[in-house]
Amino acid sequence: MPVTLDNKLVVAISSRALFNFEEENLVFEQGNDRAYVALQMQRLDVPAPPGVAFSLVKKLLAFNSGTDQKVEVVLLSRNDPVSGMRVFRSCKAHGLDSIQRGVFTQGRDPFSYLKPLGAHLFLSANAVDVQQALQLGFPAARVLTESVQAHDGHPHEVRIAFDGDAVLFSDEAERVYQTQGLDAFQRHEIERASHPLPDGPFKPLLAALHRLQQDTQSQMRIRTALVTARSAPAHERAIRTLMDWNIGVDEAMFLGGLAKGEFLREFEPDFFFDDQTGHVNSAARHVPAGHVSSGIANT
């Protein structure tokens, strides 16, 4: 019987999202491919430091035990195969031995491989790759490599925070706000409070996390939060949408435009997803953050 990733939560991740390769990337961006490969070879036995998404990946992999493999993490990188050796060695050095699959494209677009992987999430530092992945229908975010590292205060709990509109939900309501203002947005949401919002790009990830939580005997747990600029009375449609999906979140923050960063600092997520650069930049000063380039705010 062929090997399959069916019934697993599949995360595809680039080298720079998982490890801190910013120093090496400076060489790469200078256009000297040979110097970049030479530097990686020189540092082949030097484990790369953890990157922004390291904590998220490490905790998700902790759901695996023995033959019960619920999570698969696959390296999906524009790196060359030689540099890929250092990435795998860094995985082993940091205790991520279960990362055994990788695709290294040596500069070629990697996002097309998300389909055969059946990925539920793609994390990359490359904005173009993320945009293309979103257009193909995969939850994807550009990792802000300048983000602070995750706090290690919850070793047995994966904490993930999501924005609502244009992330978990479609940007239907956000379009009203952007084009007609706050009052029109509030009226729109009150009138449609009983009508679920259409799916956003990250609904498949939230659903996969929900299945993982329900279908595991692991001591690891998942804690999710909705962190949104909505406020009452527009909160109701968001809650009713989650109820219609039969997917709950553990916390919901309706902040009415307040900066999200300090609230996220208290929640201490391993990762936060938002479509608006202002919110993502605010969050990155406190927690690992990724930009979801979807919706009207990014057109």
Question: Cα 194 to chain center, whole Å?
Answer: 29
Whether 73 and 30 have beta carbons less than 8 Å apart is answered as no
Whether 260 and 136 have beta carbons less than 8 Å apart is answered as no
Considering the candidates 129, 163, 270, 275, report the single residue annotated as catalytic. Answer: 163
Question: Cα 75 to chain center, whole Å?
Answer: 14
In angstroms, the Cα distances linking 231 to 6, 127, 176, 238, 258 are 39, 30, 15, 10, 10
* Of the candidates 240, 230, 221, the residue with the CA atom closest to the CA atom of residue 160: 221
Tokens of 3: 């090997």
Q: Is 163 designated active site?
A: yes
Distance CA 53, CA 264 (A): 16
Residue 297 gets which letter from DSSP?
G
Give catalytic residues, as residue numbers: 163
